[in-house]
Amino acid sequence: MGKTTGFLEYERRNGPVLCETERIKDFREFHLTLTEKEQQEQAARCMDCGIPFCQSGVMIAGMASGCPLHNLVPEINDLVYRGRFAEAYRRLSVTHSFPEFTCRVCPALCEAACTCGLHDAPVSTKENEKAVIEYAFRNGLVEMPAPPVRTGKKVAVVGSGPSGLAAAALLNSRGHEVTVYERRDRVGGLLRYGIPNMKLDKSVIDRRIRLMEEAGIRFVVHADVGKEIPASELEQQYDSVILACGASQPRDIKAPGRDADGIFFAVDFLSRVTKALLDTDFQTYPTELAEGKNVIVIGGGDTGNDCVGTCIRLGAKSVTQLEMMPEPPGERTPSNPWPEWPRILKTDYGQEEAISKFGADPRVYQTTVKEFHKDKKGRLKGATLVSLAPVRDEKTGRLSMVPVEGSERKVAAELVLIAAGFLGSEAYVTGSFGVETDARSNVLTEKGHHRTSRAGIYTAGDMHRGQSLVVWAISEGRGAAREVDYDLMGYTNL
């Protein structure tokens, strides 16, 4: 695949990125693209390795290695190298529902497992994918025609995030009549309100939704199933129901003063910012949320990083990002060999912008909040931080982070954003449908399947597997669609 000696002839080059001082002025995407010729050279680095771990999507040491969608990466890279972008799109669309989403927000599991990355920089598969899908949209190649024949079967999808959209698209293409229910005011779920616009421009979602509507998929917004719409109503109206509501229970921080005015869950904060931007067509920024404030972000993951970048754009006075765990190593350790997911230190866009604006990395490791402080009106004014030390239990071997006595210190804070992850699906939805859940409140199914404990009710995405990646959500949605189709028709060709 690709040019036999390409990985020896070309060094990896990423598309240009707007400098930090420019990009923090607005909420536009700031990752630019290479020319088609330059992208062809990058695809030429795909090295005909024989065993393409990039497309394996297997679990190694508890982490995914390679693409869960099993995109045939070497074939796509070969077609990009040869300048056959239309064919590359057709090849990609066989396994992938929405490349325009993952090419922007996926951490690139394919690249982490790339054989070229064992001793050199991996192939830029993520940017190759972006070049392919954007070429396809520019040239009118992305089509979702209405199916020529309808099966007479009706399916409801509850949740319009990536898993719900993926399931809806496949089931509609099969000829089933699909209706997607979304409790918010706009379609997209996590894609719309959980990911900032500078990371995923919302027009990218809108253009895909238009195609899906033209294909015959019906979207219903302001539809909170389990509250405003009883589960029994959907079960009566539809032959099958897919629950794809996400893992939307945020993990809280239990510390004195938690009720102070100025403490928000990260997803609520990010949603509020995005909605304000969309409601004003990006003419007004909700600067009142963070301008002039000392901000503490609790959580070192992707959502925490998004909070850092968002608060900087809203004019925060300072941003500190707390991470309970120790700082990761700069390079792979012997216990974390390729092709495992590399558990190494990564500096994302929000941290880069904080370094540029404030002169230092915002992350503080092995630290958490011990207490929040309020003024006389109940408004947040500060917090007491405490250092943590790793202690391993001699019996279980489990590592715990334990507060270090005497390490407490007070800091100013007028805004705290809790980005400590999610616990699972919301009880009012699972309770309404009467489906069984596991210890983490994820909807319970047989391993590798999407059928719940209730006949005709299926599940997909984070609601099924717990908080995860967009690429896994799409994979889950496609898998659920296949099971629904099989059960409705007695066979499936999806």
Which of 217, 155, 223, 218 has its CA nearest to residue 189?
Answer: 223
**Total domain count, the chain:** 3
392 and 268 belong to one structural domain:
yes
100 and 206 belong to one structural domain:
no
Quick one: pLDDT at residue 4?
A: 87
**CA distances for 415 relative to 267, 374, 418, 476, angstroms:** 14, 11, 10, 36
200 and 314 belong to one structural domain:
no
State the average pLDDT over residues 202-219: 98
Quick one: tokens of 399?
């590592």
351 and 430 belong to one structural domain:
no
Residue where one domain finishes, among candidates 398, 418, 438: 418
| Encoded amino acid at 27, one letter | F
pLDDT in tens, 144-176: 999 999 999 999 999 999 999 999 999 999 999
271 and 404 belong to one structural domain:
yes
Is 301 part of a structural domain of the chain?
yes
223 and 334 belong to one structural domain:
no
Contact of 463 with 457, CB cutoff 8 Å: no
Residue where one domain finishes, among candidates 374, 389, 418: 418
% of the chain with per-residue pLDDT over 70: 100
**Which residues, including other chains, have CB under 8 Å from residue 314's CB and lie 6 or more apart?**
273, 285, 286, 287, 289, 290, 291
Mean pLDDT of the chain: 96
328 and 449 belong to one structural domain:
no
Is 275 part of a structural domain of the chain?
yes
Burial 328-363 (b: 16+ CB within 10 A, else e): beeeeeeebebbbbbeeeeebbbbbbbeebeeeebb
Give the CATH number of the domain where residue 231 resides.
3.50.50.60
Is 199 part of a structural domain of the chain?
yes
459 and 374 belong to one structural domain:
no
294 and 398 belong to one structural domain:
yes
Is 381 part of a structural domain of the chain?
yes
Quick one: tokens of 306?
């998004």
335 and 267 belong to one structural domain:
yes
Give the CATH number of the domain where residue 93 resides.
1.10.1060.10
Is 144 part of a structural domain of the chain?
no
pTM for the complete prediction? 0.96
pLDDT in tens, 102-146: 999 999 999 999 999 999 999 999 999 999 999 999 999 999 999
223 and 159 belong to one structural domain:
yes
Quick one: pLDDT at residue 248?
A: 86
Token pair 């893992």 in the structure block, residue = 247
Given a cut of 90, is residue 308 above it in pLDDT? yes
pLDDT band (50, 70, 90) for residue 1: low
Is 257 part of a structural domain of the chain?
no
378 and 358 belong to one structural domain:
yes
Is 94 part of a structural domain of the chain?
yes
How many Å apart are CA 233 and CA 223, to the nearest integer? 12
Quick one: pLDDT at residue 424?
A: 87
220 phi, psi to nearest 5 deg: -120, 115
pLDDT in tens, 394-441: 888 888 999 999 999 999 999 999 999 998 899 999 999 999 999 999
Domain hosting 37: range is 6-138
Is 143 part of a structural domain of the chain?
no
Residue where one domain finishes, among candidates 89, 114, 138: 138
Which of 367, 278, 261, 356 has its CA nearest to residue 324?
Answer: 367
Instruction: Kindly write down the DSSP assignment for every residue of 20-89, as one continuous string.
Output: HHHHTTSSS--B----HHHHHHHHTT----SS-GGGT-EEETTEEES-TT---HHHHHHHHHTT-HHHHH
